[in-house]
Amino acid sequence: MNSESGKHRVRAKLETRAQELTERLELQSVRSCYICRTCTSSCPVTFIDPRFNPLAILRMVLYGKIEEVLNSDFLWLCTSCYSCQERCPQEIPIADIMTKLKNKAFKLGNAPVGVRAQMDIIKKAGRTYPLDDFDNKKRAKAGLPELPTSCDVVKTLFESETESLK
Amino acid sequence: MTDGRVNRSVLVVGNGPYCFKVAGELASVDSVSLAVLREARLDEMEQKPNLVELLMPVELLGFSGQPGEFRAVFRQTNGSHAERTYGFVVVALESEWISTLNKWSVVEDSRITSLSKLEKYVNEYLGNIGPGDKVVFISGFKQDSYPVSQEKIVNFAAAVREKTGAATYVLMEQFKVAQEGLERAFRLARELGVVFVKFSQTIPEVRVGPKECTVQYMDEAMGQAVNISPQLLIFEDEACPPPEGRYISDLLGINLGNQGFLQGDFLFNLPIYTNRTGIFVVGSGKGPISEREAEREAEAVAEEVAKLVCSFDKEVVGPFPTLNENECIHCLTCYRSCPHKAISLYPGQRSPQISPVACRGCGICVESCPRRAIDFEHGESGISYYDIDKEIDHIVYEDSRDVPRIAVFACVNSAYDAYLLAKSRGDRLQARCSVLKVPCGGRVEAAAVIKALGSGVDGVAILTCHENSCKSVHGASRCRKRIAAVKEMMTKCGVKEEAILFGTVAPGSAPQFVELINRFSLRLQGGDGSSIIPGNAGSGGEAR
Amino acid sequence: MQKEVIIVIGGGITGLTVALELAQLGKHPLVVERGPLLGGRSASLPCKATDRCLKCNNCLVEDTLRQIKYDSPFEFMTHTTISDIRREAESWYVTLETGPFFIDWEKCTDCGACYEACARLGASGVVRGASINQHPFFGIDQKACSCLQKGADPACVKECPEGAINILTRPQTRQVKAHGIVVATGYTPYVPPEKNRFGYGRLPNVITTQEADEMLRESGAVTRPSDGRVPQRVAFVQCVGSRDRRIGREYCSRICCGYSLRLALHMIHKYPDVDITIFYMDIQNFGKDFEKYYSEVKDKAKLVRGLPGDFYALDEGKISVSYFSEEQQKNVAQPFDLVLLTIGLSPQEENPDLANMLGLGINEDGFLRPSQADASAVVVAGTARGPMDVAECICDAKSAAFKMANFLEGS
């Protein structure tokens, strides 16, 4: 009986690690999925690049293959359009789950180059598209109000966030 | 014919605990006897029904008679014979759940079992299962699965997951949730962490080695192969018809359905009827149903019996065939052709006897009698039946060259209603129709069709119910075959068979009725290139 | 002895079967129907036979209606609602409210003069039954009555040769002392909300199965509403309004899979070239011999596992439907001529009120559940209890009649 329970402990350990991660990232809601495929068939990304398949990602999380997802590049194809989440008949916050996974992957340093470059621009300029005086001249011509060319508040936000990550 | 003393007792025939429940419901209506074909456990019964007689186990050797006077012969285990008379019979046989392990080429052991075995020895099987172990349920693939058995799987899987902490997988073809509360139970099991896998393109592979067994499959939703080595592997059982079903249905003269389940494949048998008046089938013997549904059927059959008892007190109204003993030549054609087994032969009686209770007035016996010894008596009910022959004599047509003249034999259960509906809707028929109401397509004789054709019409249409929704079981199919034979005969005689149409139409289908008639009319006018109406100048058809 | 009246609420197949059974047992049922006709939704089910009957069960309804039409075995009231129910000692005092139209069914001969009069005015206030076995065959839908709206004297009242139609200035009330009540109020078909991804209500060729039913019954074929043409490519979308927690319907409506498979087989039989795709989650078999239809459909139509995503308008009334293709392992968009949304069964809106009045419970899905106490004086039957098909409703009605009769014998 003792060796039996020892075996259980070893096997349980493997399962627990994935479970822990699921719980820490609050992904338990993936369990509700009953495979209706509404998320995938509603996904505009799957149309263009079938490597991104929301249902497949939910299943991978369910099977405890979270690390595989975190190491993947397809995770980053999600555009956060929320079509899947809006339509899920089991009310699974699919797009939120994708964001959580992306955040975790970013922390692990798994974000693709493009995402990191964009991140740097936001950090520096406070925007994904940095503005300069030329842009403001064009805006003035169109009768639009001037916008600040730097956004220091965002910088501060990032600094405090980076602090907390350390 | 009955001698006036009708028996109101009920015989329930069963093979398990369910028949006791049915007997219990019926006992509140009338005196009930129970014949159990196998030894069943009585201790499971909450309340023992109040029975007149319990025969268990018993063999049913013979069966004859009509509602109100069914005679059954039994042989008991001690070899003694018993003969009893009953008013009604309720067949409450249960289906069986058979292990599918052999279909998967695996042998039962401590790790591999069937759902029913798990149910029986749940503690033994789950005793060694703990956290980190894997348990796999397999549902479907090799057999049909039903909500009743999947409910068990869902509940077991949830219990295994919750109580042992084992990783639990359920591999299934379809998730059958068509039962109250099952969708919710399914979700609760998932939320506990049970992994459900659905298959539509592939099937899982099971390998059993001396040390471990493995289940390999493709998770189609994930698009990845999965390999599990479960400590416990459970297969769903297959629902099989009651083994006694075939024998009992032959003996009682009731039709058997698909795959040997009870109740013939006829619409009007639903929900609990058979082709015989006074004999009912309830419960899972007709196919797996939930306990609640089975309970509902037990109550419904009690209602049916109570109603029939009431009807015995009333005078029989409505069309009822009578047999002219002087004409009868005892060929027994009527006895063989009656779909409701309402015609009996009694020793000492000169001619077959027609039971007024069992007869449903289809007129198939009238049609089949070579001596025309059987005729309908007009009843008092709202629907009266015509003597087809006389009616045909009365078909008088005005001369019209515009549209064909068609005589329509319309079954009162379907086509006649469709005709009336079309008429009340003001639908336009491209033909001048004389519609003859017939009690069933099976009533229409070949001679009547030919006679109608000879009465000066351009075409004769015989419109009946669809096969297997015919109230007289084989009335529509008999009619179809007969019309085909008439057509063949006509062709051999050199007469165009296109002047005859056989069609099926439902009572509410006015558009189909109109379409059938109009297409037939077009055919008669040579719309399809061959006019058969003499003198019709539509298209160079042959004039005779 | 005084007549022991049993009020049967609802004149659909369940209520009528209960009443018929009770009448045959010598009891006195009174059917109360709020609509203009008897027969309910099941009376207008269209036949879906191929060259064989596929057991859509409509003929069972016709058979019941036929018996009632010819034997008139019980009393009934149409255009009637229940305004109050009181319990006193062993009896129920039920206040019935009829109006504004009151039709004397003993006078009515189903001649149709009212229908013609209404049609001449271009209105659709007088409705016609779907089955010839419905008596009354004509009734008045007061919401659609143009005369009442204009404040004019209804033409149907004037035209009725029997003087059977009356218009009441005030609803007529009648109090009935009842010994038992049977609730057979049925279900409501699910209607997709205004904003739905299927394009229902926006794209003319996206219709519900209920609309397809009406079309099939009325004209004999399911055609495209936009141009009346027979569709070449048809999509069925299962589970619309069922198995969906988002809209509070966490249950399977049970009858829809069988419905779609039958309709698909019927359409293929009628138009062998039609190309049918059924989008589904799980095929639900229930009912006898169902598995047979499933395997036949598998041969003759395309079954796609998974619900589709987007529905866009294309030229010529076509609809683009996107779904995940298992073979291609990617999302594809396919054009269809007609999309049929297989809608589920919803509980009646009035269920909570009714439950309150009669001391009944409501189950988790919103359907009625008999209360434990005093169960036998009030019986619930048919789809008021939950989704079921016609054959099951008939069985349930018989069991309800049995319970009610037992209760009356006992009391």
pLDDT tens for each residue of B286-329: 999 999 999 999 999 999 998 888 877 776 666 678 888 898 99
**pLDDT for residue A10 is more than 70:** no
**pLDDT for residue B532 is more than 50:** no
Using an 8 Å Cβ cutoff, are B472 and B440 in contact? Answer: yes
Q: Delimit the CATH 1.10.1060.10 region(s) of chain A.
A: 27-107
Please, which residues 402-431 of chain B have a Cβ atom closer than 8 Å to chain C? 413-414, 417-418, 420-421, 424-425
Which residues in B241-333 belong to E strands, given as ranges?
279-281, 320-323
Rounded CA separation B436/B384 (Å): 12
Least confident of B172-186, B268-282, B379-393, C223-237: B379-393
Quick one: which of C309, C40, C51 has its CA closest to C199?
C309
pLDDT of residue B384: 43
pLDDT tens for each residue of C225-275: 999 999 999 999 999 999 999 999 999 999 999 999 999 999 999 999 999
The answer to whether the bond into B271 is cis (omega within 30° of 0) is yes
CB-neighbour burial class of residue A65 (10 A; exposed 0-12, middle 13-18, buried 19+): middle
Rounded CA separation C100/C79 (Å): 8
Structure tokens at C264: 């698909």
> Is the CB of B196 less than 8 angstroms away from the CB of A35?
yes
Rounded CA separation B28/C217 (Å): 43
Tell me the C-alpha to C-alpha distance, in Å, between residue C28 and each of A52, C181, C360: 66, 12, 23
pLDDT of residue C293: 86
pLDDT tens for each residue of C99-123: 888 888 889 998 999 999 999 998 8
Planar angle of CA B99, B101, B102, nearest 5 degrees: 105
> Is the CB of A8 less than 8 angstroms away from the CB of B222?
no
Q: Write b or e for each residue in A96-107: b if 16 or more Cβ atoms lie within 10 A of its Cβ, otherwise e.
A: ebbeebbebbbe
pLDDT tens for each residue of C272-311: 999 999 999 999 976 667 778 888 999 999 999 999 999 9
| Distance of residue C97 Cα from the nearest chain B Cα, in angstroms | 31
> Is the CB of C250 less than 8 angstroms away from the CB of B466?
no
pLDDT of residue A165: 54
Rounded CA separation C93/B420 (Å): 41
pLDDT of residue B406: 92
In this structure, which CATH number among 3.40.50.10610, 3.40.50.620, 3.40.50.300, 3.50.50.60 belongs to the domain C191-344? Answer: 3.50.50.60
With beta carbons under 8 A apart, name residues in chain C contacting A40: 306, 309, 324, 331
pLDDT tens for each residue of C36-63: 999 999 999 999 999 899 999 999 999 9
Rounded CA separation B200/B171 (Å): 11
Rounded CA separation A115/B287 (Å): 59
Q: Comparing C5-99+171-187+347-408 with C191-344, is the CATH topology the same?
A: yes
Give B93-150 as a DSSP string. Answer: ---EEE--GGGGT----SSEEEHHHHHHTHHHHHTT--TT-EEEEEESSSS---HHHH
Using an 8 Å Cβ cutoff, are C103 and C126 in contact? Answer: no
> Is the CB of A8 less than 8 angstroms away from the CB of B167?
no
Confidence of residue B50 (pLDDT cuts 50, 70, 90): confident
Tell me the C-alpha to C-alpha distance, in Å, between residue B403 and each of A96, B409, B526, B536, C244: 71, 19, 12, 10, 55
pLDDT of residue B372: 86
pLDDT of residue B244: 95
Structure tokens at B297: 């059927």
End-to-end CA, chain B? 52
- If phi > 0 it is left, if psi is from -120 to 50 it is alpha, else beta; for residue B106 that is beta
Rounded CA separation C292/A71 (Å): 47
Planar angle of CA B171, B172, B175, nearest 5 degrees: 135
Mean pLDDT along residues C147-160: 88
With beta carbons under 8 A apart, name residues in chain C contacting A53: 324
pLDDT of residue B533: 45
Q: Which of A10, A31, A59 sits opposite B221 (nearest CB)?
A: A59
> Is the CB of B221 less than 8 angstroms away from the CB of A35?
yes
- Element (DSSP H or E) covering residue B86: strand B81-86
Selected for mutation to probe chain C from B469, B470, B513 (highest C CB count within 10 Å) is B469
Tell me the C-alpha to C-alpha distance, in Å, between residue C398 and each of B310, C16, C402: 15, 10, 6
**CA diameter of chain A:** 83
Mean pLDDT along residues C310-318: 96
pLDDT tens for each residue of C320-377: 999 999 989 999 999 999 999 999 999 999 999 999 999 899 999 999 998 665 557 8
Rounded CA separation C287/B286 (Å): 10
Tell me the C-alpha to C-alpha distance, in Å, between residue B216 and each of B30, B145, B171, B204, B226: 57, 21, 11, 6, 6
Structure tokens at B16: 């398990």
| Distance of residue A3 Cα from the nearest chain C Cα, in angstroms | 42
pLDDT of residue B351: 87
Return the axis-axis angle of helices C255-270 and C209-219, rounded to nearest 10°: 40
pLDDT tens for each residue of B121-148: 999 999 989 988 999 999 999 998 999 9
pLDDT of residue B340: 94
Mean pLDDT along residues B360-387: 73
Q: Which of C53, C71, C132 sits opposite B421 (nearest CB)?
A: C132
**pLDDT for residue A38 is more than 90:** yes
Q: Count A/C contacts: CB-CB distance under 8 Å.
A: 62
> Is the CB of C282 less than 8 angstroms away from the CB of B414?
no
pLDDT of residue B534: 42
Q: Count B/C contacts: CB-CB distance under 8 Å.
A: 203
Confidence of residue B62 (pLDDT cuts 50, 70, 90): very high
Residues in chain C: 411
Using an 8 Å Cβ cutoff, are B21 and B298 in contact? Answer: yes
Rounded CA separation B97/B95 (Å): 7
> Is the CB of C402 less than 8 angstroms away from the CB of B303?
yes
Using an 8 Å Cβ cutoff, are B441 and B464 in contact? Answer: yes
Tell me the C-alpha to C-alpha distance, in Å, between residue B291 and each of B18, B179, B295, C377: 9, 11, 6, 24
Mean pLDDT along residues A129-155: 87
pLDDT of residue B1: 37
The residue extents of the domains of chain C are 5-99+171-187+347-408, 191-344
Rounded CA separation B30/B51 (Å): 10
Using an 8 Å Cβ cutoff, are A112 and A104 in contact? Answer: no
CATH of segment(s) A27-107: 1.10.1060.10
Confidence of residue B442 (pLDDT cuts 50, 70, 90): very high
Q: Cβ of B389: how many Cβ atoms within 10 Å?
A: 13
With beta carbons under 8 A apart, name residues in chain A contacting B196: 34-35
Using an 8 Å Cβ cutoff, are B214 and B106 in contact? Answer: no
Percent of residues, chain A, with pLDDT higher than 90: 58
Which of the pair, A63 or C289, is modelled with greater confidence?
A63
Rounded CA separation C54/C47 (Å): 9
Using an 8 Å Cβ cutoff, are C342 and C244 in contact? Answer: no
Mean pLDDT along residues C17-43: 95
Instruction: Please tell me whether the overall predicted TM-score, pTM, comes out greater than 0.90 for this model.
Output: yes
pLDDT of residue C324: 96
> Is the CB of B469 less than 8 angstroms away from the CB of C405?
no
CB-neighbour burial class of residue B162 (10 A; exposed 0-12, middle 13-18, buried 19+): middle
Rounded CA separation B352/B515 (Å): 43
Q: Which CATH superfamily is domain C5-99+171-187+347-408 in?
A: FAD/NAD(P)-binding domain (3.50.50.60)
Least confident of C167-171, C181-185, C287-291: C287-291
Selected for mutation to probe chain C from A31, A35, A38 (highest C CB count within 10 Å) is A38
> Is the CB of A35 less than 8 angstroms away from the CB of B131?
no
**pLDDT for residue B541 is more than 50:** no
